[in-house]
Amino acid sequence: AQSVTQLGSHVSVSEGALVLLRCNYSSSVPPYLFWYVQYPNQGLQLLLKYTSAATLVKGINGFEAEFKKSETSFHLTKPSAHMSDAAEYFCAVSDTGGFKTIFGAGTRLFVKA
Amino acid sequence: NAGVTQTPKFQVLKTGQSMTLQCAQDMNHEYMSWYRQDPGMGLRLIHYSVGAGITDQGEVPNGYNVSRSTTEDFPLRLLSAAPSQTSVYFCASSYTQGGATEAFFGQGTRLTVV
């Protein structure tokens, strides 16, 4: 069975500081991994996805994530936080050729001025 | 381009009432799913469909029914609403690109059962 663990339900950073949101996954097959962002009262939007083509994946809004098989991790980073990055972020996993996406519990990012 | 459209956006039900949450997509995606979102629990899969006429259960299917008579529509039925079904419901449609399934989400339906 697949699962996703997001470490930290809340993360707070200052504007301009590094953003690091942690995600570990469990999968019996090579996974497809995703990060989604949810702004208040909206649905989820795809930030980036890992499809095995490259271990470092670049997404929208300056975010990127690195797939580390040995650590079963897919942490999301952004070098410099902006106030507009404040939102909830979800890591997700899907099996090979799958459509049943399993989501983590989410990490709410706060950005302080 | 509408994408995934959910109706209604808000709904209040009394315990025991039934209702249908509507979901429609105009992207000709094969896959559609329903999730519920509860604080601290992320999104949990209720039911999904891989095409018209084909549905299956997800992680938390009890108390919900679905059907898929067309590619575009995937309604979620609550047969007898319970307070535990108070949640935000999201419909998503998906396609596979290079093996990865990218999901497109609706804006959600906030349901309160009293």
Query: What pLDDT shows up at residue B113?
Result: 97
> How confident is the model at residue B102, as a pLDDT?
79
What was the pLDDT predicted at A88? 96
Chain A residues with beta carbon closer than 8 angstroms to that of B31: 99
In this model, does residue B96 exceed pLDDT 90? Answer: no
Q: Helix (H, G, I), strand (E, B), or coil: what is residue A96?
A: coil
Output the pLDDT for position B25. 97
Q: Please tell me the predicted confidence (pLDDT) of residue B100.
A: 67
Q: Which residues are B83's β-sheet partners?
A: none
Q: Are A42 and B95 in contact (CB under 8 A)?
A: no
Cβ neighbours of B51 in A, within 8 Å: none
Give pLDDT, residue A81.
Answer: 97
Length, in residues, of chain B: 114
CA distance B103 to A100: 10
Residue labelled with tokens 């519990």: A105
Residue-wise pLDDT for B78-93, tens only, equals 999 999 999 999 999 9
Determine what percent of chain B is predicted with pLDDT higher than 70.
Answer: 96
Q: Chain B: nearest CA to A41, how far in angstroms? A: 8
B95 vs B21, residue with greater confidence: B21
Taking only the tens place, the pLDDT of each residue in A31-89 is 889 999 999 888 899 999 888 778 899 999 999 999 999 999 999 999 999 999 999 99
What is the predicted pLDDT for the residue at B1?
65
Q: Which of B20-24, B28-32, B68-72, B95-99 shows the lowest per-residue confidence on average (mean pLDDT)? A: B95-99
Confidence of residue A96 (pLDDT cuts 50, 70, 90): low
DSSP for B68-107, please give it.
Answer: -SSSSB--EEESS--GGG-EEEEEEEEEEETTEEEEEE--
Query: What pLDDT shows up at residue A1?
Result: 75
Nearest alpha-carbon partner for B98 in A54, A104, A58? A54
Residue B17 CA to residue B24 CA, distance in Å, equals: 23
* Mean pLDDT score across all residues of chain B: 93
Degrees to nearest 5, angle at CA B71 with B19 and A3? 75
Q: In which band, very low, low, confident or very high, does the pLDDT at B17 lie, cut at 50, 70 and 90?
A: very high
Task: Please report the pLDDT score of residue A53 as a whole number.
Answer: 74
Chain A residues touching chain B at CB-CB below 8 Å: 4, 6, 9, 32, 34, 36, 41-46, 49-53, 90, 94, 96-106
Please give the average per-residue pLDDT across B48-66, as a whole number: 94
